[in-house]
């Protein structure tokens, strides 16, 4: 299975510590495809259901089902950047962000990192 930048997967994030997002969650792949092809790690932003967060923040990106292919509105928490082992991606992609949604996520990540 080729993990691609912009794809959305549901992955199990446990075990976690502290305030990290836990459980089976949607994640958006941020790392470039040349990295994703290597047996290293895949860099992602963690998502949650849109209904879980009533207010929008500059560190979050709200994505509609039509933009992601997921069955529900998803908020990508751009301050929750994780590098995951490729073995966590056992199922195929559940969706793929539109180009515009991926650009919004990239901008929010840059904002979180002060870039």
Give the CATH number of the domain where residue 87 resides: 2.30.30.110
Enclosing domain of residue 40: 7-113
2 occurs within a structural domain: no
As a whole number of Å, the end-to-end CA separation of the chain is 32
Number of folded domains that form the chain: 1
**pLDDT tens by residue, 52-95:** 888 999 999 999 999 999 999 999 999 999 999 999 998 899 99
Instruction: Give yes or no for a contact between 68 and 8, defined as CB atoms under 8 angstroms apart.
Output: yes
**pLDDT tens by residue, 12-36:** 998 888 887 889 999 999 999 999 9
Give the 3-state secondary structure of residue 63: strand
1 occurs within a structural domain: no
């Amino acid at each position: 299975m080729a993990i691609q930048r912009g794809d959305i997967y549901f992955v199990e994030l446990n075990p976690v510590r502290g305030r990290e997002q836990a459980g089976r969650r949607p994640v958006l792949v941020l790392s470039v495809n040349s990295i994703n092809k290597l047996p290293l790690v895949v860099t992602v932003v963690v998502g949650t259901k849109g209904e879980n967060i009533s207010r929008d923040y500059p560190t979050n990106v709200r994505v509609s089902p039509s933009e992601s292919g997921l069955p529900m509105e998803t908020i990508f928490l751009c301050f929750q950047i994780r590098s995951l082992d490729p073995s966590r991606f056992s199922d195929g992609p559940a969706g793929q962000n539109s180009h515009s949604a991926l650009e919004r996520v990239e901008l929010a990540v840059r904002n979180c990192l002060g870039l």
